[in-house]
Amino acid sequence: MILALYGDDSTDKKSRNAEDKRVLCAGSFLGWPETFFEAENKWADRLRRDGIDYFRASECEGLVEQFDPVSKGMSLNSTRAMADSVRRDLSEIIGNSRGLGGICVSLLLEDFQKVLLSDSRARAYFGDDPATYVYATLIKKTIDLLDNDWPDSKGVPIAFEFDTHTKWQQAEEAYRNLRKVPRFAARLGHIGHADDKKYPPLQMADLMAHEGRHETHKYLDNTKKDRSSFAVLAGSNSVYYCGLIDENAMMVELDDHDALTRQ
């Protein structure tokens, strides 16, 4: 018996607005492999209906790549309607797949750099790559959530699969170091990276990361504007946890680590 988690990250790299680049969000879905398999088949059928090879939320929202009106031979309005329909249908497929829980962790990038510069302990413990750090935090938070909310499952390992990126080898080494921590070791099964274009569950995780980032901006800006995709996920109880890592959270983590080391 094993649980599966697929994760991806999101930040608005192409935006000209610096405010849009302040958050890096790692999003994921956790569930049993057979639940992912059923959702994956439904999602593959939905993509074929509009001749789409893969889904990325940022491309869907920006109407580029798979959702480019020119390459689709469609008007701008028709392409927007199609893209919105595809994203909504993915949210509904996830919501109707009972047992998939969305987990996301957002990191304030400015705070990450501030802590690295201000505290000599930080670079050794957190590393210097924010993506590696936020994924490692996602792993730890997922295990903590399960241990707290489902204590009977403590013997069940989790297979973690993340979208590949340029520093994936460095990241996997950092994740393997978590096996040295007893409370994480029993849960850590497979940890690897794959191409989200080829693995539909990673496309689901990309949606969670994208919507989680927008929810974080909503919280930081103290606005109440709801996004339909997140509302569908939340309304179907498919959002398990959304967390925020700021300077204070990082300092508490460093202090906790030091306290454990001294024991």
For residues 232 and 88, the answer to whether their CB atoms sit within 8 Å is yes
Place of tokens 């949210």: 91
Strands 3-10 vs 23-31: parallel, antiparallel or unpaired: antiparallel
Per residue, the 3-state secondary structure of 155-212, as one string, reads: CCCEEEEEECCCCHHHHHHHHHHHHHCHHHHCCEEEEEEECCCCCHHHHHHHHHHHHH
Contacts of 172 (CB under 8 A, 6+ apart): 191, 192, 193
Beta-carbon count within 10 A of 263 CB? 4
Using CA atoms, how far residue 99 sits from 30, 36, 75, 102, in Å, is 8, 9, 38, 10
pTM for this structure? 0.93
For residues 125 and 250, the answer to whether their CB atoms sit within 8 Å is no
pLDDT at 1: 75
pLDDT at 11: 84
Look up residue 4 and give its amino acid.
A
SS3 55: coil
Beta-carbon count within 10 A of 119 CB? 15
- Hey, which residues does 4 pair with through a beta bridge? 31, 159
For residues 5 and 160, the answer to whether their CB atoms sit within 8 Å is yes
What CATH number was assigned to the domain covering residues 3-33+101-262? 3.30.420
* Strands laid side by side in the 23-31 sheet: 188-194, 158-163, 3-10, 23-31, 101-108, 239-245
Residue of 65, 102, 104, 67 whose CA lies nearest to 84: 67
Annotated domain spans of the chain? 3-33+101-262
pLDDT at 97: 93
pLDDT at 263: 60
80's tokens? 């927007």
pLDDT at 14: 59
For residues 192 and 161, the answer to whether their CB atoms sit within 8 Å is yes
pLDDT block averages, 10 residues each, the chain of length 263: 92 60 93 96 96 96 95 96 97 94 97 95 92 93 94 90 84 85 90 93 97 94 88 95 96 88 67
Query: If you ran DSSP here, which 8-state letter would residue 25 be given?
Result: E
33's tokens? 């492999």
Contacts of 68 (CB under 8 A, 6+ apart): 79
SS3 105: strand
Averaged pLDDT of the chain: 91
pLDDT at 238: 96
Place of tokens 């309607």: 81
